[in-house]
Amino acid sequence: MVLAINRGENLKILTVKINVPDGVKNEFCRWCVNNRWRPKAFANPELMELLRYSVEDSYKRLIYPLLCREFRSKLNADAEKESVTMFGRNLRQLLLMNPVRGRTLMGVDPGYSHGCKLAIISPLSHILHTDVVYLHSGKEFHEAEKIRRLLLKYNCDTVVIGNGTACRETEAYFADLIVKKFFAPLDVTYWLFSYL
């Protein structure tokens, strides 16, 4: 959910704001004025008012934004960790499935910033090779050569593309290479695979 919200924010569809309850501010200001910086001797009302104003100003300008950033950072880290765990569970289930009889498959999990994860699986469900390629980062031709070498090395003519983030772009990438007969002499085909 957090990663979806982040994507919506990056696409300027959503605006995200962290709300910290007013009770946190009140408790922080009370603690600072009464416990942390309370003058040892008698404090005149002007000094106490200045102290209260300073604490509230520091909370508003410095501490509140810090709390928001820290909370957002923790949410993002937890979401990314869960995403990797979920990918591992999904991949495990995929790898334990019976492959297409008599075919070596290249599975592609599409992605942008973390690249597309590849796995080449034998007809007997053995993992022959794993790799990461960056198909959407400006190095498309270099990565196409790498994919071609792998397909030829393992005599793999079937590419299975997951339906995650960037699946349409990845499908278009492979479709373009297949139309141009880039993988010759192999007659490569691709499938889109829904794993969730």
**Is the pLDDT confidence value at 58 over 60?**
yes
Q: What is the mean pLDDT of residues 107-130?
A: 86
CATH number, domain containing residue 186: 3.30.420.140
Helices within the chain (DSSP H only): 2-10, 22-31, 45-58, 64-96, 140-153, 167-179
Q: Which of 59, 92, 125 is the last residue of a domain?
A: 92
Q: Which of 40, 72, 92 is the last residue of a domain?
A: 92
| pLDDT for the residue 196 | 47
Q: What is the mean pLDDT of residues 104-122?
A: 86
Q: Structural domain of residue 160, as residue ranges?
A: 97-193
What distance, in Å, lies between the first and last C-alpha atoms of the chain?
15
Both 101 and 85 in one domain: the answer is: no
pLDDT class of 148 with cuts at 50, 70, 90? very high
Q: What is the mean pLDDT of residues 5-11?
A: 82
Both 77 and 37 in one domain: the answer is: yes
Q: Two tokens at 73?
A: 């950072």
Both 54 and 130 in one domain: the answer is: no
| pLDDT for the residue 42 | 64
Q: Which of 29, 62, 92 is the last residue of a domain?
A: 92
Both 16 and 37 in one domain: the answer is: yes
CA-to-CA distance for 41 and 46, rounded, in angstroms? 14
Q: Two tokens at 133?
A: 């390629």
Q: What is the mean pLDDT of residues 103-116?
A: 85
Q: Look at the chain and report how many structural domains it folds into.
A: 2
Both 87 and 112 in one domain: the answer is: no
Both 165 and 113 in one domain: the answer is: yes
| From 38-47, 119-128, 155-164, the region with the lowest mean pLDDT | 38-47
Q: Is the pTM of this model over 0.95?
A: no
Q: What is the mean pLDDT of residues 12-32?
A: 84
